[in-house]
Structure 1
Amino acid sequence: MTENTRLDASAYRAAEQLMRNNRGDLVHGAKVRPHWIDGGARFWYTVTTGAGRRFVLADPEAGTREPAFDHERLAAALTRASGQEADASALPLSALEFGPGTVSFRTGDGLRWTCALDTYACTPAEAAPPAGFMEPASPDGRHAVFLREHNLWLRSAGDGRERALTADGEADLAYGLSPFSPTVLLNKLGLPGLPPAVAWSPDSTRLLTHRTDQRRVRRTHLVRPMPEDGGEPALVTQRFAFPGDEHLPEGRLVVIDIATGRAVPAESTLPMPLMSPISTGHAWWAEDGTAVYFLQNTRDLRTLWLKRLDPATGEVTTLVTETGPTRVEPAQFGRPMVKVLSSGEVLWYSQRDGWGHLYLYGGPSERQITSGEWAVREILHVDEAERVVYFVAAGLIAEDPYRRSVCRAALDGSGFARITGDDLDHDVTVAAGKEYFIDSASTTNLPPVISVRGWDGAVRVELERADISRLLATGWSAPERFRAKAADGVTDVYGIVYKPHGFDPRRTYPVIDHPYPGPHANRVSAAFDSGILGHEAEPIPALGFVVIALDGRGTPGRDKAFHDYSYQNYQVAGGMEDHVAALRQLAGTRPWMDLDRVGIFGLSGGGFATVRAMADFPDVYKVGVAEAGNHDNRFYHAGWGEAYDGPDYVRSSNVEAADRIRGKLLLIHGGSDDNVHPHHTLRLAERLIALDKDVDMFIIPGAEHAFVGYEHQVSRRRWDYLVRNLLGLEPPEDYRITPTAIDLEMLAELFG
């Protein structure tokens, strides 16, 4: 093996720097996660700077942003008080609380301290253990609720006393249980599962939950070949309904008075095929606690109801009904856009005119509030006194219809205006008290500027300007946003293209497509942060590839017809024919793109799209790496498959399309994947073997769906495969990616 036939290790080192878990070291000041204090009047957050991790206190009313304390003095004081060395650049503090002249916090060892900000004397503070992820706390902080043996229990924050709230829960008929839980992943974090699905009433006196009935739901099985205790293989059994099954999980909403223990069940049940409606925002308390509202679909998703539950009697009444010829959704993605006002009027999202807009029901007259060839993406705030709704919309910026703007409109349909008047993408977090919002403004090639804005759009205080100098030092360059025509020659589709590191326009480069077909999520972000999916693709240009990604027809974020292209048509894999059309258009003006060397890779739905592209367009896609793909939705979640595939699941089965695959294909799957079970990949491999086709496969016995803890091995195998089969080079000899800690920020994003 000569050096001329092996890729230099510097390419892998640069790519490794760009992996998702390392990105926080490369981009500083790009995110603000607020921790509200004083009811949202102020907040604190952390930011990484050249000096390390810093705690910042923001007061929007005063227009100030300042260090929450003197980090060096606090570190020295904490070192003296605790006897443990505290590093001012990496203080292990959480759960900060600010009092008159003091700050209290919890340290990494679980102890709580109070520090006087005039003398910086730190003293131990008495505090109950934190409720934590598994124990949702009441709004007043006095109680937390948790699961024990299929029942809900209450713990007092003051004295730690526990008592049962329910006593009749049982296996497969449990309280607060989500039908699906990524148990393998959560177990890696030391958690038994998801926390109980509950919503506290605003006054902290009652709980909304549901009793989850899975007694007649199909059982499926996994085998853990080597359990954590090292013993014999263990059988893992799940309740897991397939599309078309007669029985799906269902739930009965229940309201529990925590003082008396009285439980009031709803008079009817609702289908709950995949997730808890409480966890997904499909069931919620009225702001005054007088009612519970919830959304319910028919199984074919063509009818959507808004219903009211009387928490005192369990009576259920219907407030709004909408029926359509295809899916009727309360949002194309994300949380529902439905709000019941104190007047009893209902602010309702609908795509009935072909675009996602807001309607008002129940007032003096029912009316459409917003209209036009653009889409409402999120309701931010309703000022009922002023009769104004504030919301996020996309499609108002001609350059990029995915960029989001903050807008307002009167509830009578008049007075529409954009609050953010620039052409940037705006990612918004509304303050706990609704007085203002935190705005992160960026584009795919412009780093974010984060500020606090009032509802008039005026900046109250600037918080951060992202520093990407370390990112640029890796050889990274911002992607180019492009527009192309879809395969129909009419519809515009949008994407991004990354040039390889050390780009030379006189050379030609192989091309990698990185798809995600939705139909519930976009692959490409309009913001600077490329998101969880995008972070998997960003290292690839360092290896010497052009990388493209785009959102073809069938993905969300545009008009209803664009999204409905995938309705009962999942086999188009998010418009892979649009990807092919875009590739050819891009190469027509970019001769450095070598369309004789095109590869593709993706995870989950992206793994499905990878294989489908190789089957449908074998003359285009020559090499693929398909990771944890749902290759046969006949055997996937009913709640997902029935929403986004079917009813003819054979058409979208990659197993049935295996005879058309001609290129080099690597299949990767976690052997303990309790979401997309590993048999999806094994079925495809079995069919390829039966067809006497070559197949490469990498099964990681202990890995779940996101390969948490195995990212370094999956990435290296992916890179090696693409380098060998598209660059025609051997990977660097004996190169190993350094394992990283579990990406808690990514998990927080996944679990909300």
Structure 2
Amino acid sequence: MNKFIFSFFLLFVSFIINSQEANENNFPEANYRLASKFSPSNISKKVHSTEVYPQWLASGNKFWYQYKTTEGANYYLVDCDRKTKVKLFDNAKMAKWLSEITKDAYDSKHLPRFNFEFVKDETAIRFRVTSREMVIVKSEEDKAKTTNDSTSNKDSISIKKIKRLKPKKERKSYYLEYKLGSDNLIVIDNSKKKDTFNKWANVSPDSSLVVFTKKHNLYWMDKTNFLKALKNDKDTTIVEHEWTKDGVENFSYSRSNMGISEDEIEKKIDDRKPVYGYWTHDSKKFIFQRSDVRHIKDLWVINSVTKGRPTLERYKYHMAGEQEFPKNYIEIFDVSTKKKVNVLLDTTIQQSLSIYRYSYKKSDTTKHKPTLILSKKGNLYFNTVSRDRKRLDIHVANVETGEVKTIINEHS
């Protein structure tokens, strides 16, 4: 009897196992290809535009926008006062003009994405289009080097070296103008747009002062000397002034060297570098947030994807569990007196800082948009967040004295 029960039990267990295996084998495989059809990138190709992003004009209550359908992208100009909406141009004509100028094939349904600039009292638009044609480009330094090599003693070695160098090429760019309602497209310039604004320059709202960093310290120059730098960055007559003297490595006014090799840091030690800071709306104060990481241990990384031999990179990194932590400071610089005031912060506790900044309106078409503090009255608003993310405090600081007042506490 016991043998019969034991045999029946084994038969029952084997039946359950076989049923489970059968169910597992019958389970359908995941169809990832079907799921990908409904991904955002694929859906956007069929749905096209679902929203309107108005680009406001400088004068008048007008804006333009792009709206894409299965018939292509159309550009409209809206006059809110007159309650009118008209197309900026005829797509078929624009495709014809672009094809004639760039020698690339365009049709009314497939036009390049435009970024318009309204000119001539907003009666015309200007924009850039890049063609597929590749042209050789040379920097001013390359041109000077080529000229010197070809004229100085006809050095055959230099000439052979120049011939071996593969010329740098890029797509040809066209700068175009279209007068609204006209029947032609004008080519203004075929050259690539040049950067007329130095990347290292942080210009005040009134454009009277320019700040930057050099050798870990904060520097400034006036508008006259900055205009010289726009023409020639290496002009020896440019006068620059050292604003601070307490900047050192890892407690610097310059940006972090993360991602830069040791050799590259040494090569560019004397270069002007950008500084990220905040201005008051009246251009009287410049506010900078500085972090002291001198006591943080180094983290070493080998960059093996660089050209040639791998390079060694080093930067400060605070790892979880370590007692040391970065100490953050907020410093306020007076433009007229060149004096510095420190915001009174508690650096004995680990916390992160964030300064609230002013948001420009979408209708603001001015090209120069420096980073401004939130308040137009000159008060500095910022928040502190604890390491465990359980404490958020919002403060306001007096830009003249550095005194801090806490206005909101959010603790959990």
TM-score by length of 2: 0.54
> Deviation digits for residues 661-703 of structure 1, max 9, x if unmatched?
xxxxxxxxxxxxxxxxxxxxxxxxxxxxxxxxxxxxxxxxxxx
Is 2:402 aligned against 1:315?
yes
Give the match for residue 22 of structure 2: none
Per the alignment, residue 117 of structure 1 pairs with 180
Give the Cα separation in 1 of the matches to 2:373 and 2:104.
Answer: 46
For the residue of structure 1 that corresponds to 2:195, the secondary structure is coil
1:645 aligned residue: none
SS state of the match for residue 47, structure 2?
coil
1:142-153 matches, cutoff 5 A: 150=216
- Which of 109, 129, 134 is the equivalent residue of 2:195? 129
Provide the identity percentage: 19
Residue 296 (1) aligns with residue 384 (2)? yes
Cα distance in 1, alignment partners of residues 242 and 103 from structure 2: 41
Q: Which of 342, 346, 350 is 1:266 aligned to?
A: 342
Partners in 2 of 1:236 and 1:264 — Cα distance? 33
Q: Contact 1:292–1:308 at 8 Å: present in 2 too?
A: yes
Structure 1 residues 215 and 319, CA, compared in 2 at 3 Å: closer, same or farther? same
1:240 is aligned to 2:304: no
Alignment check: 8 A CA contact 2:209 2:220 kept: yes
Q: Is the 8 A contact 1:128 1:158 kept in 2?
A: no
1:305 to partner: Cα distance: 3.9
Q: 1:238 to 1:317 in 2, by over 3 A?
A: same
1:314–1:103 distance in 2 versus 1, CA, 3 Å = farther
Aligned-residue offset at 1:295 = 1.9
Question: 1:32 and 1:278 mapped to 2: Cα distance?
Answer: 31
1:318: Cα distance to partner? 0.6
Residue 122 of structure 2 is matched in structure 1 by 100
Letter in 2 for 1:264: K
Q: Structure 1 pair 304/43, CA: closer, same or farther in 2 (3 Å)?
A: same
Residue type of the partner of 1:29?
A: S
Q: Secondary structure at the match of 1:285?
A: coil
Assess, with a 3 A threshold, how the Cα gap between structure 1 residues 182 and 236 changes in structure 2: closer, same or farther. Answer: closer
> Following the alignment from structure 1 to structure 2, what is the Cα–Cα distance between the partners of residues 308 and 83?
55
Give the aligned residue type for 2:117: L
Tell me, in whole angstroms, the C-alpha distance in 1 between the residues paired with 2:284 and 2:214: 21
How many angstroms does 1:307 deviate by?
3.0
Q: Distance in 2 between matches of 1:55 and 1:132?
A: 33
* Partner SS state of residue 324, structure 2: coil
Indicate the residue corresponding to 1:623 in structure 2.
none
Matched residue SS, 2:44:
helix
8 A contact 1:200–1:207 mirrored in 2: yes
Is 1:304–1:322's contact at 8 Å kept on the other side of the alignment? yes
Q: Distance in 2 between matches of 1:72 and 1:246?
A: 67
3-state DSSP class of the match of 1:26? helix
d(CA) in 2 for partners of 1:37 and 1:114?
17
- Length-normalised TM-score, structure 1: 0.33
Q: Using the alignment, how far apart are the partners of 2:241 and 2:73 within structure 1?
A: 42
Higher radius of gyration, 1 or 2: 2
**Deviation digits for residues 582-637 of structure 1, max 9, x if unmatched?**
xxxxxxxxxxxxxxxxxxxxxxxxxxxxxxxxxxxxxxxxxxxxxxxxxxxxxxxx
Change in CA separation of 1:315 and 1:255 when aligned onto 2, cut-off 3 Å: closer
Once the two structures are superposed, residues 437-495 of structure 1 have per-residue CA deviations (whole angstroms, 9 ceiling, x without a partner) of xxxxxxxxxxxxxxxxxxxxxxxxxxxxxxxxxxxxxxxxxxxxxxxxxxxxxxxxxxx
Name which of 280, 284, 295 aligns with 1:201. Answer: 280
On the 8 A contact 2:351/2:384 being kept in 1, the answer is: no
Which residues of structure 1 form unaligned runs of 5+? 184-193, 327-752
- d(CA) in 2 for partners of 1:165, 1:45: 46
Aligned match of 2:292: 213
Deviation of residue 101 (structure 1)?
Answer: 0.8
- Rounded to whole Å, the distance in 2 between the matches of 1:114 and 1:173 is 49
Report the counterpart of residue 251 of structure 2 in structure 1: 173
Please provide the CA RMSD for this pair.
Answer: 5.0
Q: Is the 8 A contact 1:252 1:266 kept in 2?
A: yes
* Aligned amino acid, residue 49 of structure 2: G
Structure 1 partner of 2:329: 252
Following superposition, the deviation at residue 32 of structure 1 comes to 4.2
Cα separation, 2, equivalents of 1:145 and 1:158 = 14
SS class of match (1:94): coil
Larger relative contact order (C-alpha < 8 A, sep ≥ 6)?
A: 1
In the other structure, the counterpart of 1:24 is: 44
The verdict on how the C-alpha distance between 1:320 and 1:53 changes in structure 2, with shifts beyond 3 A counting, is: same
Give the drift of 1:102: 0.9
CA distance in 2, matches of 1:217, 1:103: 53
Q: Contact 1:254 / 1:265 at 8 angstroms: preserved in 2?
A: yes
